[in-house]
Structure 1
């Protein structure tokens, strides 16, 4: 029997009480109960460790927390569905992200919100802070700057960097689509997929679906189906999508489509969904308000997913990013590659495989198998990995 999530909404009082004083703190891993402990953990004992690291910088991975510390970095320009609200207002979200790293992957994490939107300044800041962390999770950075920022940081830093709004979303989307196809007995390569939204998540989702073998992907922005005239990332994406040459807007794109993926704030009418193919799959992922209400979508689609926790089939990045970073750090990877992302999606799908249904195409974020499966798969897929999953 499928269990549908209970639709409970926390009160305003509950929310603010839970955030009082922030959601993070620090914990000791060495005792500090007496003078001897102080002499070991701080002066004079700590000088021995500092001397050793000065002589061999590689020892910092063993004797500091750097190798297990993720920096969650944002400039506050694209926070949730709130938009450009600035770094201070973004901090509660970054704290939450850090809390999820600890809860789901056992990784320490520190939120860093930067009072600049200049790509050069952000890159320079993180390059200078590099001795303090082992990986960078970019978060809530607006498009198209997010594409340049991620590329620049990958080039500048010798550690894993991932913009989760792009790639975490894409990984879980692919896992969910694999689950939906397994329920329906379909193959990815035969699907006609429409993606509404050509921002950070839309571009990454289109690219990972193509990499996984989907051959017919049509991407739209507010002006309609992408074409070469868009420029930048959109132009390069237009060059590898839309093999049937669809023109127009969402109505034309959805005509006979098998899959709709909503990654924009635009609404989609019931009449447009009715144009989709039989046994359609609808992923209405905008938060907090999906492009179309799930109950309405189910009138025309066999499988419906959202980004919300109060409906079945929540496509949530927490299924991916904790395990992805854990796996990359476990493997000592300097980059998070496309192969590692595909491995993460396959791992998420594998956890759900034996319990799949139309209302359960991905596992629960609280399934303890997920982060372990993802981290093992990512570590094994890392370049030069000697890690056995």
Structure 2
């Protein structure tokens, strides 16, 4: 993407529709005067007096227990360096966003405008009563060491400098597993560290706590190997100085077992890599470009185990695997610190999780047949939904065992289930979907590419590596719009089905279509005329293998688009009627809503088939389907047509597919509130299960429900997803947003991946 365009897009993202990335939302009712009198004066006096008597009641009556401060002075921001406190604010807001979406932790970001260590510490100490924990961020070394050390000593809440410990924890888990795979003990391997900043020092200390020996460690900085005979070493560098006769990184890597890169791009050459010992372990973690390119490294050494900080290669060392879950565990037992035992517990839990069978949802998301513990999978993937159920548990147990926890957890299974149900795990679904599409992009036809919003969606899909667009429409108009939005046309196929340039292909499509439909009333003239229409032309492109998937419907009614799709693409074997579902990404979690677009008043048998297709679509995304068949009544035998057909459909499914988790008729609130369902209807197959799909008795109810969720609750909608088609084709909702069209592009690509397999 053009750098100016990328810059503009980044600025626009942060500015619109509301400046910034986080906000504060109320957690209590505030609708009436009574609510307000409890929230503020006079009711608020009671918790104030209670906290005055018992300090820890702040955890009971305020948000302190789930509130973390992300604090920086902006002296070491990402790859930007010392840009100042105010300029660091977007990064701190971003860290707050990650805390929320991964572990459901609330954050206030605080930018402290001082480089004076004492002043910084005093500021943090003065505001500490507000928070349950402190996450220090982007503070340069060596000041970062002193700031963290003193705050940990002087505060009674968890304090962690993520730049120091985040990379250390994740890379330590990866190192333990890599050593196991190559049959080497961590106490025996020689380790070369490139870099001597906060992360490098913390990594090395943590490796030593797991058995790495000081005599086997060499640390380098911009001047070369840090030796004991070098003058003016900081205390941190002196801690890891070697007495070995080595001068350069190249010298140090000869016969080394492990390379840990925390420095800058392209420092390691193929020659240096070849000089390392057998089965070298190389963690090149400089961002955005590693110390040696991944492809070059694995080409140079077939026996290498390689990790980077990048998401486009195996074994990404990503801090998001650590800090949200470490703080989650610490907060949940009201720990007074994050100590070495807790960090070590996080390391062990991450290492062990990589050895466990991977959920199908993760396999599907990363387009793998089966992720298994091995050289290309030594640490869990960042979007593994199990992380929140494993890491906080290990950290909380370590906090209790080491004596820094203030509350006990009696039922660990219940605690784990509570963690798995938190908001943080549910908002990763779209990212997983898009990551999966990027693994193997497909050619997607956009039938309305002369609509600027459609073209913007195609541009994003192309520039993000989700799909290879094929643009249908008036070529001159498309090129003009592409120029307007700075969409580089190089490598993009633009087709006007009406133009003379497409006469040969149009004739080929006409002949094929006529042969297939001539006994259904279509004349050759009809076929030739229809092939000038984009939806017919685009569908034939997919049919003939000239494209992998088709998207249409942004500017035309559903009926006008579905007709050519059904005629040309047709239904999958065994399917007699297509259906549509919308995948809603909600605070509750991913939720399928069916049928939102095609079947107006389906019969009982058709409802059963729609339910089966919804279940298949759910599995397509790696989600085990739990389906509620919705009505206005609960498990009632009323003679009303809708209730009767839902009852009949449920009975049919229970008889024919007893293993399927489906039940009804049930009201929507009971379907989504398992506590209510269990109290009133303990016999239901849905009890003690989380419903993730709703099948409605008619199109009006399903369509209205998904649009209500989208508009009132700002749930992201992916769909309508066309179910039961022979080939990948999906029809956009009239006037769909750019974001919705990008999501549908990812759906189309993944659909094509699966159908081609």
Q: TM-score normalised by the shorter chain: which range applies?
A: over 0.9
Deviations 1:309-346 (A, max 9, x none): 12221101110111111111222221211111111011
Out of 312, 315, 320, which is 1:310 matched to?
312
Identify which range, 165-174 or 265-274, moves more after superposition. Answer: 265-274
The 5-angstrom pairing of residues 225-264 of structure 1 reads 225-228=225-228, 229=231, 230-238=233-241, 242=242, 245-264=244-263
SS at match of 1:349: helix
Out of 322, 332, 337, which is 2:339 matched to?
337
CA contact (8 A) 1:74 1:139 kept: yes
- The equivalent residue for 2:473 is none
Name the CA distance, whole Å, in 2 between partners of 1:73 and 1:246: 41
Out of 98, 104, 107, which is 1:106 matched to?
104
CA contact (8 A) 1:246 1:253 kept: no
SS at match of 2:304: strand
* TM-score for both structures, normalised by structure 2: 0.48
* TM-score for both structures, normalised by structure 1: 0.92
Q: 1:225 to 1:92 in 2, by over 3 A?
A: same
CA contact (8 A) 1:180 1:281 kept: yes
- The equivalent residue for 1:265 is 264
CA contact (8 A) 1:142 1:200 kept: yes
SS at match of 2:45: helix
- The equivalent residue for 2:552 is none
- The equivalent residue for 2:20 is 22
- The equivalent residue for 1:297 is 297
Deviations 1:93-145 (A, max 9, x none): 11111111111111111111111111101111011111111111111100111
Larger RCO (CA under 8 A, 6+ residues apart):
1
Q: 1:310 to 1:16 in 2, by over 3 A?
A: farther
Deviations 1:15-67 (A, max 9, x none): 33432211101122101112121122222211111122122222111111112
CA contact (8 A) 1:195 1:218 kept: yes
- The equivalent residue for 1:282 is 282
User: Once the 2 structures are TM-superposed, how far is the Cα of residue 245 of structure 1 from its aligned partner?
Assistant: 2.3
Q: Which runs of 4+ in 1 moved over 6 A?
A: none
Name the CA distance, whole Å, in 1 between partners of 2:66 and 2:134: 11
The 5-angstrom pairing of residues 1-389 of structure 1 reads 11-20=6-15, 21-215=19-213, 216-228=216-228, 229=231, 230-238=233-241, 242=242, 245-265=244-264, 267-298=267-298, 299-300=300-301, 302-354=304-356, 355-382=372-399, 383-384=402-403, 385=405, 386-387=408-409
Name the CA distance, whole Å, in 2 between partners of 1:85 and 1:167: 22
Deviations 1:263-291 (A, max 9, x none): 01262222211111122111110111211
CA contact (8 A) 1:258 1:276 kept: yes
CA contact (8 A) 1:116 1:122 kept: yes
User: Once the 2 structures are TM-superposed, how far is the Cα of residue 12 of structure 1 from its aligned partner?
Assistant: 4.2
Deviations 1:240-268 (A, max 9, x none): xx5x8252110111000111111012622
CA contact (8 A) 2:227 2:244 kept: no
Name the CA distance, whole Å, in 2 between partners of 1:121 and 1:251: 42
Name the CA distance, whole Å, in 2 between partners of 1:136 and 1:92: 18
Instruction: Give the total of aligned pairs.
Output: 376
Name the CA distance, whole Å, in 2 between partners of 1:356 and 1:17: 41
Name the CA distance, whole Å, in 2 between partners of 1:184 and 1:203: 25
Name the CA distance, whole Å, in 2 between partners of 1:350 and 1:133: 31
User: Once the 2 structures are TM-superposed, how far is the Cα of residue 231 of structure 1 from its aligned partner?
Assistant: 3.2
SS at match of 2:289: coil
SS at match of 1:358: coil
* Residue ranges of structure 2 left out of the alignment (5+ in a row): 357-371, 413-757
SS at match of 2:167: helix
Name the CA distance, whole Å, in 1 between partners of 2:273 and 2:130: 49
